[in-house]
A and B are shown apart, each in its own frame.
Chain A
Amino acid sequence: MNNLIRNIIYQGKNTLRDYGFSFWSVIYPLILAMFFNIAFSGMMNMELENIDVGILDGNPIEQVLEEIEFINIHKIHEGQKIEKLDSEEIHGFIDEDLNLIVKKSGVNETIIKEIIEQIKQMQKLNRPFENYDFEADYIVDRNQMASSIIVVFYSLIAMFSTYGVSAGIATVSLIQANLSNIGARISITPLKKKNFLFAGILVSLFLNLAANGLLLLFVKYILKIDLLKNIKYSIILIIIGNLFGVSLGMFIGASNKKSMNTKILIGVASTLFLSFLSGMMGPWMKVVIDEHIPILARINPISIISNNLYRINLLQSNKTLGEGIVFLSIYCLLLIFSSYIFLRRKSYDSL
């Protein structure tokens, strides 16, 4: 136990004082968040509200609209529609032939229009509505700039939650005699490898979580963007994202004999690529993925984290949270198990 604590303290000091860690895990996320904020300044409307839609009682579209969490349905009489639109109690009125009546042009009205278009297409294709994810579409709606930018921020948080990848790589390199000089030195001491690794994982998780916390505080109090409304589930997602990052780092670190810099590059490139697919560089990519390879969006760990962060915080929906956590947990287990296979060797053919 004493050895574990000492390892945690010294590995913690070693990582914390590393300029690479300080920059890539602490400073870089803040710079990127600030850059995004400046780039998209004025385009965000964080007070996203549900959209009020008026329909006649008995309109069959009611069943479809009920499935969309951000739509508030108002059942009204034929004669009330103009009055409700004038008073802005509803953003739009949909009749039985799926015609839309709006009073003005705006983001919410555009979203209703797009939803109707989607429903019409589904009808034409004779596809069941329950297979369609309206929330996902809502997220990537190119006319809904506010939500698009929020996607970018959630992707950013998702990406940095996996930045434990570097610490994971470093921890593995430090214990493998064939990967580093220190690894060789430690391997001839009575310290058991698993103790060093366990300490390394705890340190990596703790420090990266702290860096994530700093980023969230920066975004909330300096940039004044309140991203996390459901703290509990958000923290669970971020923690498991961190565990995924560290596991990925361990796997990259253990699975090959490339240099430390090359491995870090592989780690960063992997997370960056997954973030790109999840829409961090622009929501259009997510549209492409959703349309052509929807399974990729479902299994991409960064997409899982960013989409669920979006859903639980802005749509108050945790519909896919369980599935996402299961997927991420499976990834972590697979990566840790694979790393263990590589790491269990204690003597090497060459150093």
Chain B
Amino acid sequence: MVVEVKKLVKRYDELIALDHFNMKVEEGEIIGLLGPNGCGKTTAINCILSLLNFDKGEIKVFGEKMTPNSYDIKRKIGLVPQEVSVFENLTVYENIDYFCGLYVEDKFTRKEYVKEAIDFVDLKDYTKFYPKKLSGGLKRRLNIACGIAHKPKLIFLDEPTVAVDAQSRNFILDGIKKLNSEGSTIIYTTHYLEEAERLCNRIIIMDKGRSLVSGTNEELKAMISTSEKIVVGFTEIEEKIVQKMKSIPHVMDIEKIGEDYIIKFENGFNNLANLMEFVEKNQLVYTKLHSQLPTLNDVFLELTGKELRD
């Protein structure tokens, strides 16, 4: 077990930031902490890293209790914080070299590692630039390079793609997969469900400081009653026909959003075929029709009664 968190409680005066939060991370995993802003993702990371005191609970990293003086454990950890945290008056190369040097003393090994990190984040053309001269996306890449240059076994990435363009985001996500394939265990916090779906082997959904559920993408979706949604737009439809649609096998609910109807099905097969049969039988004319498999947002919605992006 790389990280084990049991019943972690963290309070900020009256506010409970972490409410008996649990987490287990196995070696080689990319685990995602998914939840809305303020749900306690960063607080959890800061507690695990011993930056924050906590009120109750137990934290073990690499099988040992984590404390601020656990220097041997710290050697194996890399952090990519949410905010870009680099020296504004050191160049790209100097920043990466400085942070790498806090872990790697041998000059030649460090030089090699720094070069690899620069290649990894593709900042070769910017090594002599100061951070203030870099775009937001490039700064994020530098932030990542400073956290991973020493080849840590465990990497915490705290919302590394916030406020970056799509191109940089893809670049960063691909890079994280590569780091994982090279042997690093990754703990990744995000409020972007697409990122969690795309990247993580296992996802912990958090809300109000609690870990609601944990599992693979498929496992999480299987936990909820909605298995499929079909969006259909009709030219004209009477209310009684809409009510009649509920008799289609496996239909749970029908929601009208604008001109479209979202028909939610519980577990079952042939949902689309059953719907088409209903349409023909009632001589309905449709303008659009497509099927949606459940997303993590649906999981979150069913668990908490609110959208992930609320």
- Say whether, besides A10-B94, A346-B50, A348-B51, A185 and B99 are in contact (CB < 8 Å): yes
Min Cβ gap A329→B in Å is: 31
A188 within 8 A of B: yes
- Say whether, besides A184-B51, A347-B52, A347-B53, A2 and B105 are in contact (CB < 8 Å): yes
Interface residues of chain B, those whose CB is within 8 Å of chain A, are: 12, 46, 49-53, 68-69, 71-72, 74-75, 77, 79, 81, 83-90, 94, 98-99, 101-103, 105, 146-147
Q: Are A189 and B51 in contact (CB under 8 A)?
A: no
Min Cβ gap B241→A in Å is: 57
A190 within 8 A of B: yes
With both beta carbons as reference points, the residue of chain B lying nearest to A183 in the complex is identified as: B85
Q: Are A10 and B53 in contact (CB under 8 A)?
A: no
- A2–B81 Cα distance when bound, in Å, is 26
For B105, what are the chain A residues with a Cβ–Cβ distance below 8 Å? 2-3
With both beta carbons as reference points, the residue of chain A lying nearest to B89 in the complex is identified as: A17
Interface residues of chain A, those whose CB is within 8 Å of chain B, are: 2-3, 6, 10, 13-18, 177, 180-182, 184-192, 346-351
- Say whether, besides A13-B90, A14-B89, A348 and B53 are in contact (CB < 8 Å): yes
- In the complex, the 10 A-B pairs of residues with the closest C-beta atoms, listed nearest first: A346-B68, A181-B85, A17-B89, A189-B102, A185-B85, A190-B71, A181-B83, A14-B89, A347-B53, A191-B102
- A230–B69 Cα distance when bound, in Å, is 48
A-B contact count (CB 8 A): 81
With both beta carbons as reference points, the residue of chain A lying nearest to B11 in the complex is identified as: A349
Min Cβ gap A208→B in Å is: 17
Q: Are A10 and B51 in contact (CB under 8 A)?
A: no
Min Cβ gap A132→B in Å is: 52
For B84, what are the chain A residues with a Cβ–Cβ distance below 8 Å? 181
Q: Are B52 and A349 in contact (CB under 8 A)?
A: yes
- A181–B71 Cα distance when bound, in Å, is 20
- A191–B79 Cα distance when bound, in Å, is 14
Q: Are A10 and B87 in contact (CB under 8 A)?
A: yes
For B74, what are the chain A residues with a Cβ–Cβ distance below 8 Å? 188-190
**21 residue pairs bridging A and B, Cβ less than 8 Å apart:** A2-B105, A3-B101, A3-B102, A14-B90, A181-B83, A182-B85, A182-B86, A185-B85, A185-B99, A185-B147, A188-B49, A188-B74, A189-B102, A190-B102, A191-B102, A192-B71, A346-B50, A347-B52, A347-B53, A347-B68, A348-B51
With both beta carbons as reference points, the residue of chain A lying nearest to B146 in the complex is identified as: A185
Extra inter-chain contacts (8) besides given A3-B101, A14-B87, A190-B75, CB under 8 Å: A184-B81, A188-B77, A189-B74, A190-B72, A190-B103, A191-B102, A346-B69, A349-B52
Min Cβ gap B137→A in Å is: 18
For A10, what are the chain B residues with a Cβ–Cβ distance below 8 Å? 87, 90, 94, 98
- A294–B263 Cα distance when bound, in Å, is 87
For B85, what are the chain A residues with a Cβ–Cβ distance below 8 Å? 180-182, 184-185
With both beta carbons as reference points, the residue of chain B lying nearest to A348 in the complex is identified as: B52
For B75, what are the chain A residues with a Cβ–Cβ distance below 8 Å? 190
With both beta carbons as reference points, the residue of chain B lying nearest to A2 in the complex is identified as: B105
- A184–B79 Cα distance when bound, in Å, is 10
Min Cβ gap A289→B in Å is: 40
For B49, what are the chain A residues with a Cβ–Cβ distance below 8 Å? 188
With both beta carbons as reference points, the residue of chain B lying nearest to A349 in the complex is identified as: B53
- Say whether, besides A10-B98, A14-B90, A191-B102, A181 and B51 are in contact (CB < 8 Å): no
For B86, what are the chain A residues with a Cβ–Cβ distance below 8 Å? 182
Q: Are B87 and A351 in contact (CB under 8 A)?
A: no
For B99, what are the chain A residues with a Cβ–Cβ distance below 8 Å? 185, 189
- A92–B84 Cα distance when bound, in Å, is 72
For A191, what are the chain B residues with a Cβ–Cβ distance below 8 Å? 102
For B103, what are the chain A residues with a Cβ–Cβ distance below 8 Å? 189-190
For B50, what are the chain A residues with a Cβ–Cβ distance below 8 Å? 188, 346-347
For A188, what are the chain B residues with a Cβ–Cβ distance below 8 Å? 49-51, 74, 77, 79
For B46, what are the chain A residues with a Cβ–Cβ distance below 8 Å? 184, 351
For A6, what are the chain B residues with a Cβ–Cβ distance below 8 Å? 98, 101
- A325–B64 Cα distance when bound, in Å, is 49
Q: Are B79 and A185 in contact (CB under 8 A)?
A: yes
Min Cβ gap B96→A in Å is: 12
